[in-house]
Amino acid sequence: MSYRVPIGPYHVALDEPYKIEVDCEGETITDAHIKVGFNFRGIEWLAIRKNMTKCIALMERVCGICSNVHSMTFCMALERIGSIEVPKRAQYIRMIMAELERLHSHLLWAGVASELIGFETAFMELFRFRERVMDLLEAISGNRVNYSMNCIGGVNRDIIDPESVAAGAREIRETVTGTLIPFFTEDHSFAARCRGVGILSHADAIRYGAVGPVARASGIDTDLRRDHAYLAYNQVEFDVPVQTEGDVLARVVVRALEIVESCKIIEQAVAQMPPGSLNAGDIYAVPPGETVMRIEAPRGEVFYYVETNGSDVPSRVKVRTPTFANIPTVMAMIKGNEFSDLPLIQAALDPCYSCTDR
């Protein structure tokens, strides 16, 4: 029996508005159609009507989970246009904040995925560590969500107690290595629910342009932090986890391993962070120019195009989020799977439709 099931754009099972229609033969999905763009948030429209200082705060609102990476990418684009040198200490602080944000994102996602699968104990443990990360972010910035750390030419605040940050990262790394990774990789029930589900082949990952952990779980060895190093990433040692299976389990394992690597980066950054100034001074405008800036956000590549005209208001700000690049891969992932696997497959993408609808 053939039928089409529409889900969304507003649905009790969806946290954010998007629409997916799946064609089924019995319980097996044969095709899918995805639509996004139901919210016009007007962020890019507002960006060319506000001065650059206000734009930094605006860019932090692109995504609630990745707020720091967006304001940082915008500032780094302006710094490239204006040939502004960011002090070394500020670069390390930005890197620490970026990796804490990656920890927050991955722990949040892993907790939600565990809850969807039915492992409440893992969900509570992961959210306990997520709370630990948010406490560290609050201790540094005074905020738990939008941190207001970035300015043109550096950062607004210092890390007063770096050793507590390193201790928190060490605690998370040891627990994830000793408990959670063995659970994700060795528990038979967990593996039975995730292995072989929602496979995105290496060829499809390339064809659809997948980025971030989704691409790395399908065997694409890519990471902007290593391949096009920025900030102080070329001064620290870390591995880029890659899996080849391309299923939900591979995406879980990649993110779990990335948690460990982020902790290692934070520990090294705290140990290597030099003294010095936090920014290049008060900068409210940059010369005319244009540039692109690419940053490895928790979900993958964030792409910014920024154009300036010499005033304190940008001429153009274009943002491409990683979810926008990864959404089409769902159509390849769900074909041939059971209809009951659809929520898990979509969750394994770690989508953020709010930041996609700019």
Give the pLDDT score at 49.
96
In a domain, 1, yes or no: no
- The mean pLDDT of 223-237, rounded to a whole number, is 96
Give the pLDDT score at 320.
94
Q: How confident is the model at residue 9 (pLDDT cuts 50, 70, 90)?
A: confident
Give the pLDDT score at 250.
94
Q: Please say if the pLDDT value at position 209 is more than 90.
A: yes
Q: Report the predicted TM-score, pTM, of the whole model to 2 decimal places.
A: 0.94
- The mean pLDDT of 304-308, rounded to a whole number, is 98
Q: Which residue, 140, 56, 55, 160, is CA-closest to 99? A: 140
- The mean pLDDT of 42-53, rounded to a whole number, is 95
Give the percent of the chain with pLDDT over 70: 99
In a domain, 17, yes or no: no
Distance CA 176, CA 188 (A): 18
In a domain, 27, yes or no: no
Distance CA 312, CA 285 (A): 4
Distance CA 256, CA 172 (A): 11
- The mean pLDDT of 222-228, rounded to a whole number, is 96
- The mean pLDDT of 256-275, rounded to a whole number, is 96
In a domain, 329, yes or no: yes
Query: Greater confidence, 19 or 85?
Result: 85
Give the pLDDT score at 13.
63
Q: What is the DSSP letter of 235?
A: G
Q: Please say if the pLDDT value at position 14 is more than 80.
A: no
Q: Please say if the pLDDT value at position 12 is more than 70.
A: no
Domain containing residue 166: 41-348
- The mean pLDDT of 335-352, rounded to a whole number, is 88
Q: Please say if the pLDDT value at position 328 is more than 70.
A: yes
**Low-confidence winner among 77-86, 116-125, 158-167 (lowest mean pLDDT):** 116-125
Burial of 63 (0-12, 13-18, 19+ CB in 10 A): buried
Residues 112-137 have pLDDT tens digits of 888 878 888 888 888 888 999 999 99
Q: How confident is the model at residue 290 (pLDDT cuts 50, 70, 90)?
A: very high
* First-residue to last-residue Cα distance in the chain: 39
Q: What is the DSSP letter of 143?
A: -
In a domain, 210, yes or no: yes
Lookup: tokens for 224? 């902007």
Distance CA 246, CA 217 (A): 5
- The mean pLDDT of 167-189, rounded to a whole number, is 87
In a domain, 32, yes or no: no
- The mean pLDDT of 133-159, rounded to a whole number, is 94
Domain count across the chain: 1
Give the pLDDT score at 291.
98
- The mean pLDDT of 70-90, rounded to a whole number, is 97
Q: What CATH number is given to the structural domain containing 136?
A: 1.10.645.10
Q: Please say if the pLDDT value at position 108 is more than 70.
A: yes
Q: Please say if the pLDDT value at position 355 is more than 90.
A: no
CA dist 356 → 38, 40, 63, 118 (Å)? 10, 10, 9, 28
Distance CA 20, CA 198 (A): 16
Which pairs from 307-310 meet CB under 8 Å and 24+ separation? 308/78, 308/81, 310/285, 310/286
In a domain, 323, yes or no: yes
In a domain, 175, yes or no: yes
Q: What is the mean pLDDT of the chain?
A: 92
CB atoms closer than 10 angstroms to residue 313: 16
Q: Please say if the pLDDT value at position 159 is more than 80.
A: yes
Per the listing, tokens 């995504």 go with 63
Q: Please say if the pLDDT value at position 50 is more than 90.
A: yes
Give the pLDDT score at 346.
86
Q: Kindly provide the residue ranges of all beta strands, DSSP E only, lying in the chain, ordered along the sequence.
A: 2-7, 19-25, 28-35, 150-151, 154-155, 289-297, 300-308, 316-320
